[in-house]
Chains A and B, each alone.
Chain A
Amino acid sequence: MIKAPTPAFRSRAEIVQLAPLASAAVTDPGHSNPMIAISGLYKSYGRLEVLKGCDLVVDRGEVVVICGPSGSGKSTLIKCVNGLDPFDRGSLAVDGVAVGDRVSDMTRLRARIGMVFQHFELYPHLTILQNICLAQVHVLKRGKGDAQAKARALLARVGLSDKEGAYPAQLSGGQQQRVAIARALAMDPVAMLFDEPTSALDPEMIGEVLAVMLELARDGMTMIVVTHEMGFARKAADRVVFMDRGAIVETAPTQQFFDAPRAERARLFLSRILSH
């Protein structure tokens, strides 16, 4: 399933190439209306500094893959984007709205950003259909009928229509993760965040989840994906970001990242991960 980049993708890649550094890109005319703009983000857990001034701009419809060794701050960075992890310093805007640290802002923001977790985090006491409807009903205040119709449409899209009455424990890991994606999409998000979505899966189930994500990427969803699946990065990503020790070491258009990573640490990481 090797995909030819669509024209839209190619043009975005060109824009990115025009902007050599993400920090400079904040003021770049090519990024006048980004979906996610992260600038100078710092975050510490006690004395441990996990983010050391990260800059990242993600355009509408762009797919960015973040990779790097464990403990490099990848998950923390995307959890800052929807406020699950509050940051210490820096600025963050989603869809033009600055993200402050006030609780009310965060709640409103989170409803507009879908998130998929490493361990799925479906609600075990609710059926698949109820899982997908809960936030639709209680956050978006959709009627039950509308919410269920939406849920069923999304279940069909991830190929799990026959599972709506099942409980999460009755599904395989891959199926659970597809439900988790459907649950996030039910909120009509402006962007989707994936935190190592295939890391907890058995190898034979990774493909089905990546296929759903690939389709989502092709449909033009703005996505930030933390993953070690370099095959997915090659197929779906417009840009690859390499993080190490709390800093963004390299950000490059996908092709360029794989062919000629500039940073030594990225080169090392790539050679190690691709030799497996």
Chain B
Amino acid sequence: MTAAGLDFSVIQRALPFLLEGLALSFFLTAVAMLGGVVLGLALAVVRLSRWKVAAILAAGYVNGFRAIPLVLVIFWFYFLVPLALGHSMGALQSVIIAFILFEAAYYSEIFRAGLKSIRPGQWQAAYASGLGYFQTLRFVILPQALRYMLPLMITQAVVLFQDTSLVYVISLRDFMTSASIVANRDNRLIETYLFAALVYFIICAIGAASAKMLSAPGRAA
């Protein structure tokens, strides 16, 4: 399989190795999204609550994390937290925590926008019927807000998936790092990086397309 001096058989040979990297990328995306959504919802709820001090702290958290690059957060948790704890915590654990805390800041903003998109009358109607705060959130507000938020959440997941490539800084092997290793080992940089780009493109295009579909007007409730 040689065309214009390109040899794509390198991909075939390295496929199991590359898939291993891809699995880590997917795993990190899934875990960071799940943790980020849960923590992000909590942050958004606190931020919109009447507890002034807690709301300010949550806002500080969100703005703080959004002001620093993810790669720095990954470094912190890998190098600084073990110093504070007095023992090492493993690259994967540290990167999972870093991703969750970082993503939570972004998901929190999505939730905040989603919750604010529901008009106050819906809260009032639910309260007037005797539902409590969390019941109102769960049965009335979130189901409506989710429709607004889902496309944004998928877009964020696409960004997150791309960002998993940053774990190379602490020598974890995600898809991008695996591709890089193969490219250098077999001296097939162009073929490998073209393939990597294609994989990222396909996965992210699927994400973007589903986000667009979900945000299309006229979608059934």
Residues of A within 8 A of B (CB): 79, 82, 84, 107-108, 110-115, 117, 119, 121-125, 134-135, 138-140, 167, 180, 183-184, 187
Contacts and interface: CB of A to CB of B under 8 A. Distances in A.
Contacts of A111: 129-130
Given A108-B130, A119-B121, A121-B124, 7 more contacts: A84-B127, A84-B128, A121-B121, A125-B147, A139-B131, A184-B128, A184-B129
A169 B119 CA distance: 16
B153 interface: no
7 contacts: A110-B127, A115-B125, A117-B121, A117-B128, A123-B125, A134-B131, A138-B135
B125 to A, nearest CB: 4
Interface in B195-221: 221
Contacts of A140: 130
A79 B121 CA distance: 12
B121 A139 contact: no
Nearest to A83: B127
Contacts of B155: none
Nearest to B220: A167
A114 B140 CA distance: 18
A187 B129 contact: yes
Interface in B76-122: 121-122
Interface of B: 121-122, 124-132, 135, 139-140, 143-144, 147, 221
Nearest to B133: A103
Contacts of A113: 128
B45 to A, nearest CB: 16
Nearest to A183: B129
A138 B147 CA distance: 23
State the majority secondary structure of interface residues on B. helix
Contacts of B124: 79, 84, 115, 117, 121
CB-based closest 5 A-B pairs: A111-B130, A121-B125, A135-B129, A115-B128, A139-B130
Nearest to B143: A125
A125 B138 CA distance: 12
A82 B144 contact: no
A139 B140 CA distance: 14
A65 B135 CA distance: 32
Contacts of A115: 124-125, 128-129
A79 B143 CA distance: 26
B129 to A, nearest CB: 4
A87 to B, nearest CB: 16
A187 B130 CA distance: 9
A82 B128 contact: yes
A123 B130 contact: no
A138 B125 contact: no
A125 B130 contact: no
Contacts of A82: 128
Contacts of B132: 107
Contacts of A134: 129, 131, 139-140
Nearest to A106: B127
Contacts of B125: 115, 117, 121-123, 180
B122 A110 contact: no
Q: Which of A82, A135, A140, A180 has its CB near the most chain B CB atoms (within 10 A)?
A: A135
Contacts of A119: 121
Contacts of B131: 134-135, 138-139
A180 B129 CA distance: 11
Contacts of A110: 127-130
A119 B120 CA distance: 11
Contact of A125 (B127, B129, B135, B221): B221
Nearest to A112: B130
A125 B144 contact: yes
Contacts of A122: 125
A184 B221 CA distance: 24
Nearest to A134: B139
A139 B221 contact: no
Given A125-B221, A167-B221, A135 B130 contact: yes
B198 to A, nearest CB: 39
Contacts of A121: 121-122, 124-125
A171 to B, nearest CB: 14
